[in-house]
Every structure is written in structure tokens, then in C-alpha cells.
Amino acid sequence: MSRHMRKKLGKDDKAGDMKGTLGRIWVYLSKVKGLLLLVILMVIISSAASLLGPFLVGRAIDEYIVTNETDGIIRLLAGLIIVYLLHSVSVWYQNYWMIGVAQDTVYRLRKDLFHRLQLLAIPFFDKRKHGELMSRITNDIDNVSNTLNSSFIQIISSVLTLAGTVAVMLWLSPLLTLITLTIVPLMVYGMKWITKRTGPLFKQYQQNIGEMNGYIEETISGHSVIKTFSREDTAIEEFEAKNKKLRKAAYWADTYSGFIPKLMNLLNNLSFAVIAGIGGILALNDMITIGVIVIFAEYARQFTRPLNELANQYNTLLSAIAGAERVFQIIDEEEEAKDEGDAKEIDSVSGRIEFQNVSFSYGENDLTLKEVAFCINPGDTVALVGPTGAGKTTITNLLSRFYELNKGRILIDGQDINTITRKSLRREMGFVLQDSFLFQGTIMDNIRYGRLSATDGEVIEAAGLANAHSFIRKMPQGYHTVLRQDGSGISQGQKQLLSIARAILSDPSILILDEATSSIDTITELKIQDALKTLMKDRTSVVVAHRLNTIRQADQILVLDQGEIIEKGTHEELLRQKGFYHALYHSQLKESS
């Protein structure tokens, strides 16, 4: 499907357009057309067999039982066995092949979704709860998979059986058919009544599950925060409210949908009584045979079952479509803007950075940065200081082009970063952040994340330069010690050393450093300072500084307040100015003394 079309359908999706979503599911399904055709062929065979069975029984009654012909009965019995065997085999194969269709489709859906998630720009993730996204990926896709697995075949076979049954019934006795069919409006009305109520309930149910999973994820990842602030009771209360909401939605969705089989059963028995009664009168008047009554009684049951199934599947289908809709919404999200057509790769830059009157806001808010202008010479260290929320981190975010500017330009080695491919721009940058990202894996692999092609020797060398080698060696399995994803096995300071090692390995031209705020023991602190010195040597470094005594050596200090640079200079110059920096410095000195 063309990108244009995909976008158009995506828009419709947001309005809850079922046709659009079904169309898109079809695009996925059509990739396994061959297998799907086989499934449909098997469904046709099994539906025909289920029509033929009762028909043969009826014939047996009229032609052989009434006339006492044993040979004929045996022949028909053999025929019946073959028909039912055929039915079983075709049902088995249709399920077998359908699993292939469903799994293949869902595999591609998951792939597209994950792919898109990787391409999305940072602002997308700012706006959403991580747990809710996780729920979409797992729950909604599971839903689509289950429905494809179970509902698809049932829907086709129900439609075929319905059509076939009515056709044969009409051929045998139009009058009795008419009488049997009077039950249909009753059924349709009953089903409509129920599904009108279950549809929105199932949608709500899915939404509530998403919310609840989001909340669980949040509380698990923020467990220590909840404990620290003694918010366990609030968390339990909030969870309770969500859990109750979910119970209510699930309760009513299940209750209403549970009515369907009961109602169908009742109508089924009614129609059996009607057919037996009226059929009997017709037979007495020689208008039909007893065999036909038997066929009709059996067909009437066969006839209500697919209707029943269609109604049941309708609900599952609705919830799967709602799930698919949400998945497609993500797939349709605009990915991080493409690089300009003529964007260039950069390679080994010298590291000169220039901000020219940069203004920026996150979304609709007021400007977070206002006319920020500064210049960093290659190899220099620049420190960003200022109160929390002043915009220090924002400057580093813009430098890595995570967000687009509202106004102004950022130049690296004289080139506007908008004319450089994002990939090569980010390759030139290294990050040592407060909250360094560690993943479940060995220390070796965690450091190697900086440069995947690095050999074990290079990793160990980088760890040595980062003063991390000695602590790693003391770990139970050395470099092969497996770290947990939240990095809870090692200390904050050790985490920093690992991320410095990672940055050394990646050897960037520009370094972005978010100094740790948490207190680290003096020895580790010295090790970190020393390792940073190695790392920052000959690289342009932008340091988000929290403690002013660590940045005295910086070539330039930019003092930010409310998104504006209010002072600029070296430590000594700024102290002499006796301005904001002077006050900040002395207040921090007082705090630490």
C-alpha cells in the first residue's frame, strides 16, 4: 500500500472506521493469499460435508427405511462415514493452515509496530505512558492473533453453511422453509439488542486493561519512589479504582454476551417444535416426506448454530478490530522527520558548536529556550549551569536533534545540523548521562554498546581508561557478570564509570555530560573525575553541571535562567562580575560547608 494511502486510512481509523481497519488487516492477510485460499477451500469442503450429512440421513429414511431396503441403508451408511471423515479431515487442515496464516500475519504486524516504535521521534514517547504502549504491543496484538485463529474460519464457514442450508431447504420445501425462517427476525433482533450493548463494553474493557497495565508498570518501575514517599496506600487505592472499573466493564461485557447462547438455544428449541408440528401436518397431507422433516429439523439446528457463532464472533471481532485500530494508530504515527534530501554525512568533525539565536518550546507551551546564542571552540569544555528547569538539558537535546527548533540555527563545524544526517550527527556524539541506560546483559556487552564492533580487548582497555577495570575484576564473573536491566546490582558511581567506559569506546568528537547529582563516595568520585578527564581530553564537551566546584576548569560557563543565557564567561570572570553565578556559587559553598 502506498504511503499516501496508508496515511489516509490511518486518519479514518482514528474516527473508529471499521472498514478502514478491516481493509488494512486484509493487506496483511493478503500476503499469505495461497495459504488463505487453501483454508477457504477446506472450509467449503467441511461446510458442504455438514450439509450433506443430514441430507443423506433424510434420504435413508425416505428411500430405504420406509421401504425396508437393508442394502441401501448399508450403502448410505458407508457414504455417511465417508462424508463425516471428509468433514473431520477438512476441519483439521483448515485449522492447521489458519494457524500459519494467523501467526504469519501477526508476526508482520508486530514487526511493523516495533519497527515504527524505533523510528518514532522522542516527543511521541514524552506524551505516552510506557505501560500503555507495552499493553498495546502485547495485548492488542494477542487479541488480533486469537481472533484470526478462531473467528476467521468460523465466520466463513457460518456464512457458507447458512447459504447452503437455506438453498437446500428451499429446494426441498419452500413452505416449510418459510416457516422455519420466521425464527430469523427474532434472532437478528435479539442479537442486535445484545451486541449494541456489548460492542462499547468490550471497547471499554480493552481500554481499562490498557490503563491498568500502564498503572501496574508505573508502580513496579517506580516501586522505590512509592516506598520512599509512603504512597503504598494511595497506590493501592488508585489501583483499586482502576480494578473496579475493569471488573465492571468485564462483568457487563461478559453478562450481555453470555445471553447470546441462551437466547439462541431457546429459539432453537422453539423452531424444532414448530418444524416437527407443522412438518408433521404437512406429511400427513402428503405434502412432504418424513425424511424431509428430519432433514429440516437437523438443518434448523445447523442454521441457528452459524447465526449463533456469527453473533459470538462479532464480539471477539469487535474487540480485535479495536485492538488492531490502536496498533495501526502507532504504525501511522509520523516517524522522526526524514533527513533532508541533500543531507550530508559528517565524519570526524573538529567539534566546533554554534547556537545562533535558538528558540524552542516543547509543544504548545511557552518558550523553553529564548534566543540562546553561544559558540564553543573545538576541544573546549563548556558548562551549563542554572536552576532546575532553566533549560540545560533542553540544550543538549537540541544539539542531538531530538526535537526541532522553533527558530534559529545550530551549527557543527559551520554546518547547520539540519543539513546533516541524524545518524552521522549522533554518531559524532557521546553521552554520559545521570541515568545511564544499562540493559540485561554482561558488563562486557553493556560497555560494548558504545561500539558494537569493539573486541573484548578494546572493551577492557576502555574500562581501564575509565577506572572501571578494578571494580569489574572484583565482580563474581568479572566482565561476564550479568547486570540487571535496572542496574540494581551495582552502585550509582560504578554505573557512571561503566557509561564513561562506553563513551570512551565510542570515541565521539562531541561529548555530552550530565553530571551525577546523587552523592557518590569520595574515592569513586575521584575515580570518576579522573576518568572524565581522560574522556574529555581533546573533545568538545558540554557539561550539565549541578555542583559548581567541579567546573572551575571549564573554558566557558553559560549561566541559564528561564531559558535565557544571563551570564557567560570563565569561573573567575563570572565571580568577578558578582552576578547570578557569584550568588549561586556562594550559596552552594555555604550549603556544603
Which of 204, 289, 394, 509 touches ligand ADP by CB under 6 A?
394
Q: Which stretch binds ligand ADP (CB under 6 A): 25-33, 60-68, 388-396, 408-416?
A: 388-396
- Closest by Cα among 547, 536, 456 to 503: 536
Q: What is the per-residue binding string for ligand ADP in 300-329, x denoting contact by CB under 6 A?
A: ------------------------------
Q: Is 416 in the site for ligand ADP (CB under 6 A)?
A: no
Which of 11, 114, 126, 573 touches ligand ADP by CB under 6 A?
126
Cβ at position 529, least distance to ligand ADP in Å: 21
Q: How far apart are CA 593 and CA 579, in angstroms?
A: 21
Give me the torsion for CA of 392, 396, 397, 398, rounded to 10°: 100
Q: Is 390 in the site for ligand ADP (CB under 6 A)?
A: yes
Q: How far apart are CA 56 and CA 339, in angstroms?
A: 69
Phi, psi (degrees; rounded to nearest 5) at 346: -115, 155
Q: How far is CA 548 from the centre of its chain?
A: 42
CB distance 332 to 212 below 8 Å: no
3-state SS track over 249-305: HHHHHHHHHHHHHHHHHHHHHHHHHHHHHHHHHHHHCCCCCHHHHHHHHHHHHHHHH
Provide the 10 A C-beta neighbour count for residue 2.
Answer: 7
Q: Which stretch binds ligand ADP (CB under 6 A): 330-338, 381-389, 408-416, 431-439?
A: 381-389
Between 421 and 550, name the residue whose CB sits nearer to ligand ADP: 550
Cell of 544: 550539565
Which of 146, 393, 424, 570 touches ligand ADP by CB under 6 A?
393
CB distance 303 to 230 below 8 Å: no
Which of 68, 70, 230, 388 touches ligand ADP by CB under 6 A?
388
Q: Which stretch binds ligand ADP (CB under 6 A): 45-53, 72-80, 216-224, 385-393?
A: 385-393
For 48, 93, 163, 546, 564, the CA distances from 90, given in Å and listed in that order, are 11, 5, 19, 71, 73
Q: Which stretch binds ligand ADP (CB under 6 A): 44-52, 59-67, 239-247, 391-399?
A: 391-399
Site size with ligand ADP, rule: CB under 6 A:
11
For 468, 479, 533, the CA distances from 450, given in Å and listed in that order, are 15, 15, 18
Q: How far apart are CA 496 and CA 515, in angstroms?
A: 9
Which of 59, 326, 370, 392 touches ligand ADP by CB under 6 A?
392
Between 105 and 368, name the residue whose CB sits nearer to ligand ADP: 368
Which of 391, 450, 487, 508 touches ligand ADP by CB under 6 A?
391
Cβ at position 391, least distance to ligand ADP in Å: 4
Q: What is the per-residue binding string for ligand ADP in 254-293, x denoting contact by CB under 6 A?
A: ----------------------------------------
Which of 368, 381, 436, 540 touches ligand ADP by CB under 6 A?
368
Q: Which stretch binds ligand ADP (CB under 6 A): 305-313, 392-400, 449-457, 486-494?
A: 392-400
Between 139 and 393, name the residue whose CB sits nearer to ligand ADP: 393
Between 249 and 543, name the residue whose CB sits nearer to ligand ADP: 543
Q: Which stretch binds ligand ADP (CB under 6 A): 321-329, 382-390, 408-416, 548-556?
A: 382-390
Phi, psi (degrees; rounded to nearest 5) at 377: -80, 155
Between 45 and 367, name the residue whose CB sits nearer to ligand ADP: 367
The position carrying cell 507495552 is 134
Phi, psi (degrees; rounded to nearest 5) at 374: -165, 170
Q: What is the per-residue binding string for ligand ADP in 73-112, x denoting contact by CB under 6 A?
A: ----------------------------------------
Between 179 and 395, name the residue whose CB sits nearer to ligand ADP: 395
DSSP code of residue 174:
H
Cβ at position 577, least distance to ligand ADP in Å: 21
Between 393 and 492, name the residue whose CB sits nearer to ligand ADP: 393
Contacts of 503 (CB under 8 A, 6+ apart): 430, 431, 432, 450, 511, 535
Q: Is 362 in the site for ligand ADP (CB under 6 A)?
A: yes
Q: How far apart are CA 166 and CA 172, in angstroms?
A: 10
DSSP code of residue 353:
E
Q: Which stretch binds ligand ADP (CB under 6 A): 10-18, 158-166, 371-379, 389-397?
A: 389-397
Q: Is 577 in the site for ligand ADP (CB under 6 A)?
A: no
Provide the 10 A C-beta neighbour count for residue 140.
Answer: 25
Give me the torsion for CA of 110, 113, 116, 122, rounded to 10°: -120
The angle at the Cα of 185, spanning 181 to 188, to the nearest 5 degrees, equals 120
Between 151 and 368, name the residue whose CB sits nearer to ligand ADP: 368
Between 35 and 367, name the residue whose CB sits nearer to ligand ADP: 367
CB distance 270 to 183 below 8 Å: yes
Q: Is 592 in the site for ligand ADP (CB under 6 A)?
A: no
Q: How far apart are CA 365 and CA 94, in angstroms?
A: 56
Which of 174, 258, 280, 389 touches ligand ADP by CB under 6 A?
389
Footprint of ligand ADP (CB under 6 A): 126, 362, 368, 386, 388-394
